[in-house]
Structure 1
Amino acid sequence: MARSPFTLAAAVTAALSGAEVVGARTLTADGDGRFDSAVVTLADGRELAIRVGDDDETARELASESLALRALTAGARAMLPFRAPEYVGETRLADGRALVTELLPGFQIEASHVPAGRGAAESMGASIAAVHALPASVVRSAGLTARSAEEAREEVRQLVDRAAATGRVPARLTVRWREAVEDDDLWRFESAVTLGGVQATSFLFEDDPDAGPSVIGLVHWHGLALGDPAVDLAWLSSATDAAGDVHAAYAQASDRTPDGALAMRARLLAELEFARWLVHGDALHRTDIMDDAAALLTALAEGLRENDLSVIAQRSEGVDSAMDALGRVPETASTRVNIAMETDAYNPRDLLPGEDDAVADEPGGGRAPGGDAVGGDVYVGDSTEDLSDLADSDLLPRDESAQSDDSIFPVAQPVDASPAGSDDADPADEAQRAARAALQRWTNSSSE
C-alpha cells in the first residue's frame, strides 16, 4: 500500500487507453485508509478517481463496484435525479486491483449532523426512493445478488445465531432479535433495488439558493442488489434530527406498496451491524475486534428499557428502539466509517459569495459518531503535481517510501442558523437555514 499519486496516475494510462495525464493529487476522501487512492487530471479537463485494493476484501469491493456501475445503463441513470460515477476502466498494479471511475464533485454531511426539514433530509429521502424505484432487471441482468423477503429474513436469523454462539451478546439482545426474526409481519415486504446499505456520506450535495442543500450525486454502489429496502435506511438510527423527515420524504416519493414495518426493520438492521462486526472479528480470530463489538453491544443492551425488549411491542406502540442508546456508546468503542471514494473536496465559497461571515470560523475536528476523526484542513486542490511528461511512460515503480493519506473528508457540522428575534419564523425556512449553515460550516473547515 502507500503508493504515491505519481504511480497511481501512471496506472490510469493502463486502464484508459490513450489517456493524457497532466496532473495528480491525493484523494482526500480515501476510504479510511483501506485503499491507495488518487485524483488524476486529464488533458481534456476530466478528473478521475483511482483506487487500488491489495487484500481480498478491498479487491472484492472494487470488483463489485465495477460490476454495479456498469449495470447502471444510460436508461437506468436517466431515471435517477442525481449522478452516479461513471465506470472508466480497470487494471492491475503489482498484486492489487485498480479501479478508475469518474470523480464527482459535492460535499458530504455526517449522519448525526443532517438537519431536519426542507433541504438535505428531504432530498436524501427522495434519492433513496429513486434508487428503490429502479427496475429489478438492472440487478438481474448483471447477475447481481437478488434476495426475497424470506431469504433476507433467513440471512438475519443466521447472523443472530452466529453472534449468539460467540457468547459475547447480552441475553436481552439475543431475545429481542430472535423475537423480531419470528415476527411474520415484520418481514412482509416487496424486494427492491438497493445499494445494500447506503450511508450518510454516500450522498453528495450542492447548495440551492431556494431549496437548500440537495443531493447531486450518490456513491458507494458496490452493494447494489435486489433485497430489503430497509438496508438503505438503517443509517438513520444515527441521524436523530433528520430521521423522521427522511422517512417522510422517502414515503412521499416512493411509488411502492406502503411498508408499515420499514422503519422498525431499518432500526433492527442497524443494531445488527454490531453483531456483524462481532462475527467478523470471530471469523478472523481478532480479539480486539470482538472486544470492540462486545462493548458496543453491552452499551446497546444497557440502553434498553424493559418495554424495549419486544420489537413487536415497539412496532405496535411506537416505542423508540435500542438504537437510542447509541448516543451513549463510549467513544473508544467505535464502528468503522467508510468515507466516499468517488468524490473530493472543492471550494464551496465559490457557491456562496458574500456569506463567509454566516458562521464563526471553527476547526472541524472531533470524533464522528462511529469514532473516526472528522473535519480539519484536508483540501488539496492546490497540490496537483505536473505530470505532463508521464502520459506515454511505462508504469512507475511502486513508491514504498510514500505514506498513505488517512485524512477524512471534511463533513458539515450543525450550527445555530436562526437569526435573532426569529421566534415567529417559518419552521421550514428555519430548517433550510440550518441545512445551509451546515454547508457554511464545511466551508470554514476547508483550506484553500
Structure 2
Amino acid sequence: MKTSQLYLAGLAVSAIDGLNAVGVRPPYVRTDDFVTGGVLDSKGRHWIVKCPLNSTAATSLEAEAAIAPLLLEELRKGELPFDIVRPAGFASVSSGGRAIVYPEPFGTPTDFEAITLGEAREVGRALASIHMLGYDAIDHAGLPHYSAEEFRVRQLAELHDADQAATIPNLLRRRWEEALENTDLWQFEPVVLHGDVDSENFLWSGGTISAVLGFGSAHIGDPAVDIAPLLSLPEQTFDTVIESYENTRGEDIDGNTHTRAILLSELSVAKWLFYGIRTENDEVQREARNMLTDLAADVEADPNLQSGPSWDVNPS
C-alpha cells in the first residue's frame, strides 16, 4: 500500500472535517507494523497520522484508540503525570483497519540507554503511575485482563507454539518450561500494564516525561511485563528506575518479579522468532535464531542457569 507522507496527509484530511493540510513534517517513521508521519494544517496546527500496515497492527491501534478517552479521564483526575495520545479522527486504509490522527504530543523520544539518573527516576514514576491505575480503564476498553494463573498458562502455550513452529534449543526449552511450571514463581497481584515499554513511546521535555504513547498493548497482568524491557539498562540506571518505582507505589518488587522479568525477556526472543516465521521475514528469523544460539551458549557455560532463571538482576 502507499505510505508516502503525502498519502498520510490525505488520510488526515479524510479523518478530520475542515482540516486543510498545507505540508508534511517530521517525524516520518516506518516499521514492520506502522507508518507514522507529521502533517501541518493551514491554522498552524501539527498533527500525527499513524497508519497500520497489517491486521495485528490495526488491532493494536484500535485498542490504543479505545483506551485513550479512559486514560484522559485518569489524567484529568491527576492520576497520570504525563500526556497521552488524544485521537481526533480516523480514516480507513487499504491494508485493513483505520489510521488514527491526533494532535502532535509535546516532547521528543530519548534512548533509554542514554538517560540520566534523574530521568531514570522519571521512568520509574511513570511506570508506577500506570501500574497504580484502577482496572476500569482496561476493562471498559475491552482489553485483556489476565489473572496470575491465566498469564502463566498463556506464556506456556506461546512457548509451545513457538517451539512447534521452529525448534527451540533443548537447553532453553527445559529452562523455560521449568520456570513456567513453577507455580510458586507466579504468585502476583495483576496490575494495569503499558505493555510496550520502549524508548520511542516515551517523550521527554526538560528532563521530564511529557507524554507516553503506544498503549495499544495495554492490559491487566504481570508487572514483570513492563520491567523486562528495562533489564538491558546499565545497572545503576536500572536500580534507579526500580527504586523510584518502589517509592512511588509504596511497595517493593520482590525477587520473583525480577525472575519473571528475566524469563519474559528471554521468551521474547522465541516470540520474535515465531513472529518472523508467521510473517515470512527472513531477516527477523536470522536475528532471532542468532540470539537464541547466543543465549543457549551462555546458559550452557554456567550450570547454575540451566534449571530456570533465578539469578539476582538487582544485587544489593
TM normalised by structure 2 equals 0.88
Query: Which letter maps to 2:13?
Result: T
For 1:162, the equivalent position in structure 2 comes to 161
Contact 1:163–1:278 (CA<8 Å) still a contact in 2? yes
Contact 1:200–1:235 (CA<8 Å) still a contact in 2? no
Q: Measure the CA separation in 1 of the matches of 2:200 and 2:281.
A: 28
Question: What whole-Å deviation, never above 9, does each CA across 1:296-345 have from its counterpart, x for those lacking one?
Answer: 1111111222112233642xxx3689xxxxxxxxxxxxxxxxxxxxxxxx
Shift of 1:34: 4.1
Question: Given the alignment of the two structures, is residue 274 of structure 1 paired with residue 269 of structure 2, yes or no?
Answer: yes
Contact 2:37–2:50 (CA<8 Å) still a contact in 1? yes
Q: Where do 1:213-228 residues align within 5 Å? A: 213-228=207-222
Task: Judging by fraction of residues, say which structure has more helix.
Answer: 2
Shift of 1:178: 1.1
- Aligned partner of residue 37 in structure 1, secondary structure: strand
How many residue pairs get aligned? The number is 310
Question: What whole-Å deviation, never above 9, does each CA across 1:348-403 have from its counterpart, x for those lacking one?
Answer: xxxxxxxxxxxxxxxxxxxxxxxxxxxxxxxxxxxxxxxxxxxxxxxxxxxxxxxx
Which of 245, 250, 254 aligns to 2:249? It is 254
Contact 2:196–2:215 (CA<8 Å) still a contact in 1? no
Shift of 1:26: 4.3
For 2:228, the equivalent position in structure 1 comes to 234
Q: Measure the CA separation in 1 of the matches of 2:39 and 2:244.
A: 37
Question: Given the alignment of the two structures, is residue 307 of structure 1 paired with residue 301 of structure 2, yes or no?
Answer: no
Question: What whole-Å deviation, never above 9, does each CA across 1:188-239 have from its counterpart, x for those lacking one?
Answer: 11111111131133211122xxxxx221111111111111111111111221
Query: Which letter maps to 1:103?
Result: E
Q: Measure the CA separation in 1 of the matches of 2:25 and 2:148.
A: 44
Q: Measure the CA separation in 1 of the matches of 2:153 and 2:90.
A: 35
Go from structure 1 to structure 2 and tell me whether the alpha carbon gap of 1:159 and 1:98 turns closer, same or farther (over 3 Å shift).
same
Shift of 1:146: 0.7
For 2:104, the equivalent position in structure 1 comes to 103
- Aligned partner of residue 39 in structure 1, secondary structure: strand
Query: Which letter maps to 1:135?
Result: G
- Aligned partner of residue 38 in structure 1, secondary structure: strand
Contact 1:236–1:243 (CA<8 Å) still a contact in 2? yes
- Aligned partner of residue 48 in structure 2, secondary structure: strand
TM normalised by structure 1 equals 0.64
Q: Measure the CA separation in 2 of the matches of 1:319 and 1:243.
A: 9
- Aligned partner of residue 209 in structure 2, secondary structure: strand
Give structure 1 stretches of 5+ with no counterpart.
Answer: 208-212, 322-448
Q: Measure the CA separation in 2 of the matches of 1:120 and 1:113.
A: 9
Contact 1:83–1:218 (CA<8 Å) still a contact in 2? yes
Shift of 1:288: 4.9
Q: Measure the CA separation in 2 of the matches of 1:313 and 1:36.
A: 39
- Aligned partner of residue 69 in structure 1, secondary structure: helix
Shift of 1:248: 1.3
- Aligned partner of residue 38 in structure 2, secondary structure: strand
Q: Measure the CA separation in 2 of the matches of 1:125 and 1:71.
A: 22
Contact 1:5–1:26 (CA<8 Å) still a contact in 2? no
Question: Given the alignment of the two structures, is residue 18 of structure 1 paired with residue 12 of structure 2, yes or no?
Answer: no
- Aligned partner of residue 80 in structure 1, secondary structure: coil
Shift of 1:58: 2.7
Q: Where do 1:40-439 residues align within 5 Å? A: 40-77=39-76, 78-96=78-96, 97-115=98-116, 117=117, 119-166=118-165, 168-207=167-206, 213-241=207-235, 242-255=237-250, 259-284=254-279, 288-304=283-299, 305-311=302-308, 313-314=310-311, 318=312
Contact 1:159–1:275 (CA<8 Å) still a contact in 2? no
Contact 1:111–1:235 (CA<8 Å) still a contact in 2? no
Shift of 1:67: 1.6
Structure number with higher relative contact order (C-alpha < 8 Å, ≥ 6 residues apart): 1
- Aligned partner of residue 22 in structure 1, secondary structure: strand
Give structure 2 stretches of 5+ with no counterpart.
Answer: none
Contact 1:126–1:253 (CA<8 Å) still a contact in 2? yes
Q: Measure the CA separation in 1 of the matches of 2:211 and 2:2.
A: 28
Query: Which letter maps to 1:101?
Result: Y
Q: Measure the CA separation in 1 of the matches of 2:30 and 2:127.
A: 22
Go from structure 1 to structure 2 and tell me whether the alpha carbon gap of 1:38 and 1:129 turns closer, same or farther (over 3 Å shift).
same
Shift of 1:128: 0.2
Question: What whole-Å deviation, never above 9, does each CA across 1:78-108 have from its counterpart, x for those lacking one?
Answer: 3101111111110124455221122113232
- The structure number with the bigger radius of gyration is 1
Q: Measure the CA separation in 2 of the matches of 1:46 and 1:286.
A: 38
Go from structure 1 to structure 2 and tell me whether the alpha carbon gap of 1:4 and 1:161 turns closer, same or farther (over 3 Å shift).
closer
Go from structure 1 to structure 2 and tell me whether the alpha carbon gap of 1:197 and 1:136 turns closer, same or farther (over 3 Å shift).
same
Query: Which letter maps to 2:66?
Result: L
Query: Which letter maps to 2:271?
Result: R
